Chain A
Amino acid sequence: MTDKKKLKVATTSLAGCFGCHMSFLDIDERLFTLLEHIEFDRSPLTDIKTCSPDCDIGIIEGGLCNAENVHVLREFRKNCKILIAMGACAINGGLPAQRNHLPLTTILEEVYHTSPGLANGMIPNDPELPLPLNQVHPIHEVVKIDYFIPGCPPSGDAIWKVLTDLLAGKEPTLEHGLMHYD
């Protein structure tokens, strides 16, 4: 494996809390082993802002909350051969999706107009700001996702297991203890 070209891995956090990325770092010293096989492309770890067109693996944390999330997800899908949804929010919308039973109009009203303590509040309309979606969506509802690592966050061990399964050319599985949704 060592002679092979390293796999390009890109990562991002959409509507997530970066907890899954923190957990990624919990791979700890095994990161060095991992780095023998992969190199990071676009990622908060490298601060590279756009994906190279030939990424092998894209790892996505977080669901889709707003227009920018959709753009980033599409960029990943376009540039990565394999996409992995990492963590509860990417997989089912997670905490942000718990707003889904409320109409967005009601939420914006409450947050910017009617909450106590607001004076002359207005809903921000700067074109720089991404608009929120009517509902938060898991990422597999918008692009094809190849693999999933459940957990909130998935443990470093679970992330390691899925990545090493993939590197070994196996269908990733998580046994008892590694598989959890919380």
Chain B
Amino acid sequence: MGLNEMHAEAIAGVVDRVINRYRRDPTCMLQILREVQEACDWIPPEAIDRMQAMLGVPRTKIEGVAGFYSFIYTEPRGKYRVLFSDNITDRMQGNRALMERLCNNLWVERGKVSEDGLVSVGKTACTGLCDQGPGMLVNNYAIAGLSAQRIDEIAELIRNKVPLAEWPPAYFKIEDNIRRADILLNADFKPGEALLAARARAPSDGLNSSNMRSWREGLPSGIGGPGATLDEIKRANLRGRGGAGFTTGLKWEACRNAQLKAGHQRIVVCNADEGEPGTFKDRVLLSKCPDLVFEGMTVAAYAIGATRGFVYLRGEYRYLLDHLNAVLANRRRENLLGKDICGLPGADFDIEIHVGAGAYVCGEESALIESLEGKRGTPRNRPPFPVTNGYLDQPTIVNNVETFAAAALIALKGGEWYAGIGTKHSAGTKIISVSGDCARPGIYEYPFGVSIRQVLEDCGATDTQAVQVSGPSGICVAENEFDRIIGFEDIPTAGAFTIFNKTRDMFEVARNYVHFFQHESCGFCTPCRVGTSLLKNLMDKLHYGSGSPYDFAEIEKLNNLLQSMSHCGLGHTACNPVLDTIAKFRPAYDKRMMQQDFTPAFDLDRELSAARQMTGRDDAAAHLATEHGGQS
């Protein structure tokens, strides 16, 4: 019996245990798959047999979901599944050489499983360890600060089949690296305080008692605890921290006012699927102040009358799960979650954590909801919007981790206090994840309005060529723009701040991002599914020296098509890094246009390789002259 083989009975036992824990609920499909894989190392066909029988769902559905997520394997990937983070920052920190080193050490080909079935080594999108990279995931557990020495140690551990649980704990230590804290990261906050403050906001006893009648229905807008709390959120001018910047108060109000169908409830979802490359502030918020986040969710539930909450935690942050669940359990003990929260009759709300499995697109709120429902993470057609028809068709708000943390503070200290921080159009603070070429990468919390230059100074960046703000889907800021400010009125951001000094090739930065989008396209719509692949091929063509003005024109046409025809934000923004770098770093592209005239994307001489090998010929006629720069 090989390493990856288990008896069908043992597999069925695992599946039964997991499925029963999830109440045989098919909407928990992704969680079930994830946990079955944690036990079996992959999803064997026998596990799907059992799931099919136990959950009463068709095989097509189970395989469809399993096939969508990068971290779910329907083929054996080894007892040790090593994935190197491949964000541009990891590249700058030398991840490629380390990956090579591990592969050589373990005698395994990149992307393949070793012959003995022990280990596979591959790469994955940004793991959110940019300030302490290069990073990797081993069986979905994060390891930061890789070095040649550590790689050799890891190879040794794998070769000796040491269980992951027995690896040195120091490997799995992830630093917070908080360099500048403000109201959120400095919050002197005791769990429950914000809820008590929200409750106390009821104007009078009479109204308060009528409010107690039902948490779910609350009171008409503007009166009593929930209404007053919502008013504070609106007064605070809080806008979403996930990047789009929608006004939080409006979203909550729309959800609160949405009609509830019989048997339905309102839902609060915390989007902790922090997948935008270069972003890692939610990781730090969740590790440093989870109570603040959970309390913000509970405040939201109170304000809109929601009874069920979810945190959608990205798979890369699996290592946070046990701690977060412990915090939730503690909050239940303290009556900050569960029934009659804070002694309010009918104040019922609880939170469960769903863990993602390697799909950036699930950061899009409707795709996230699909994933929460145990489906493929495909963005929905909108309208209708989640505030009226969200999780299982129920009114749902989806907000970023940081938005909830801010909401808790607003409930505690009031909207006016909050609105006084930051700028006129951008209230409050923003947590920035700084990485790349600087002396002090890490987490910086600033009141909105801070300039790019200020952040660069604070983190010790010198000789800076460009900053990618808000990740590949954001904007690339060049030196002449460093006086621009972070804020909705100028440069909005989900938090990524990736710095490139003048030695960096901005074409390669864009190419890395294009590869990212190609890998993460959900495949639902034609323009993004095929267009991101075509764009990737064109960028590779330029990289390998076969680019000509023809290809440049093709890239621009694809950019337009992706923007106008794509289904969701992923496709719309997939060409941003290319458009920006073309506009601002044109010489980096000109340098790549090594051909005057159209040149094939592939190496024609290499196209004869199989025939040469089979015939043993190597004469002149067995070769084709090629303009192609080399590999492809």
Contacts and interface: CB of A to CB of B under 8 A. Distances in A.
| A–B touching in complex (CB under 8 Å) | yes
Interface string A73-109: 0000000000000000000000000000001110011
Given A127-B622, A141-B600, A141-B601, A133 B607 contact: yes
B200 to A, nearest CB: 69
Specify the main secondary structure of chain A where it touches its partner. mixed
A67 B612 CA distance: 11
Given A127-B619, A131-B608, A108 B600 contact: no
Contacts of A144: 550, 597-598
Nearest to A142: B600
B611 interface: yes
B611 A108 contact: yes
A124 interface: yes
Chain A contact-residue range equals: 20 to 34
A83 B619 CA distance: 31
B615 A123 contact: yes
Contacts of B262: none
A141 B550 CA distance: 12
Chain B contact-residue range equals: 20 to 34
B614 A108 contact: yes
Interface string B452-469: 000000000000000000
Contacts of B611: 104, 108, 131-134
A134 B621 CA distance: 16
B600 A67 contact: no
Contacts of B612: 131
A70 B624 contact: yes
A64 to B, nearest CB: 9
Contact of A131 (B597, B601, B606, B617): B617
A52 interface: no
B600 A105 contact: no
Nearest to B609: A134
B160 interface: no
B1 interface: no
Specify the main secondary structure of chain B where it touches its partner. helix
Contacts of B600: 137, 141-142
A134 B617 contact: no
A145 to B, nearest CB: 9
A166 interface: no
A127 B607 CA distance: 17
B149 interface: no
A70 B617 contact: no
B613 interface: yes
Instruction: Among A70, A135, A141, find the residue whose CB has the most chain B CB atoms closer than 10 A.
Output: A70
Nearest to A122: B615
A109 B614 CA distance: 9
Contacts of B602: 141
B614 A105 contact: yes
B614 A104 contact: yes
B607 A134 contact: yes
Contacts of B624: 67, 70
Contact of B616 (A125, A141, A143): A125
A133 to B, nearest CB: 4
Given A105-B610, A125-B615, A142 B622 contact: no
A130 interface: yes
B604 interface: yes
B621 A67 contact: yes
6 contacts: A125-B615, A125-B617, A127-B622, A132-B608, A141-B601, A143-B598
Given A108-B614, A127-B617, 10 more contacts: A70-B624, A123-B614, A130-B621, A131-B617, A133-B611, A134-B610, A137-B607, A141-B600, A143-B598, A144-B598
Interface of A: 67, 70, 103-105, 108-109, 123-125, 127, 130-135, 137, 141-144
Interface of B: 550, 597-598, 600-602, 604, 606-617, 619, 621-622, 624
Q: Which 9 A-B pairs have the closest CB atoms?
A: A131-B611, A125-B615, A104-B610, A144-B598, A133-B607, A127-B619, A108-B614, A142-B600, A131-B608
